[in-house]
Structure 1
Amino acid sequence: MAWCEPEELSPWQEEAVEQVAWAISEDAVFPPDMEALCAVAGMSPMHLERAFHLCFGVSLKSYAHTEWQKRLQQEREREQRDGGCARGRDRDREREVAREWLIAAI
């Protein structure tokens, strides 16, 4: 998943950052907040941000936003394939609330 160079991060840091990325990707609609991500990694917010950026080349916030965009695109494609959804407007509002929450959480 990650492209970390061994001299940049220790193996436990690399593994911790990959677990954080998985936690974000697993639920891109309502991802864990920074406190939860720090608990997953066993790092302070500053160290997690630094390690994540070294490993993935982007900030946690950018990564989470990208994952959110991917999830949104997948849902749109599924709705088009399934012929639309009666709850379309409700889902759009849920997504907007989730997006606002996501940006505020990281």
Structure 2
Amino acid sequence: MVWKRTISSKALEKAKFAPVKVEDKVIFIAKINDTFYGIDAVCTHARCILTQLDEEKMTVRCPCHYAVFDLRTGNMLEPPYVAPDAPKEKLGLKTYQVRDNNGWIEVDV
């Protein structure tokens, strides 16, 4: 395990989610009901940064072509509207462990 510090807990609390740069990756971090989630923030379709969180459905949506990913598993649930036949099972995103460590959000990369 290699834990990397990202943003302050206060900043995440205020924003609810944040795409953050960790080494050579951008990771979408969210806190929902006291649980942290981390998922690759770059959509597998057109490389857009994920920015739309649905807390009730536990999903994140790409703002470019509206692909939807499960925040817990990284699985693509809905393909981009411009590619309705995209192979969802091959276009998922990697997930990461996230924790709060003394006021800082860390990601296990």
Same fold (TM over 0.5): no
The TM-score, its normalising length taken from structure 1, stands at: 0.31
| Structure with more of its chain in strand, by fraction | 2
Structure number with higher relative contact order (C-alpha < 8 Å, ≥ 6 residues apart): 1
The TM-score, its normalising length taken from structure 2, stands at: 0.30
Q: Which has the larger radius of gyration?
A: 1
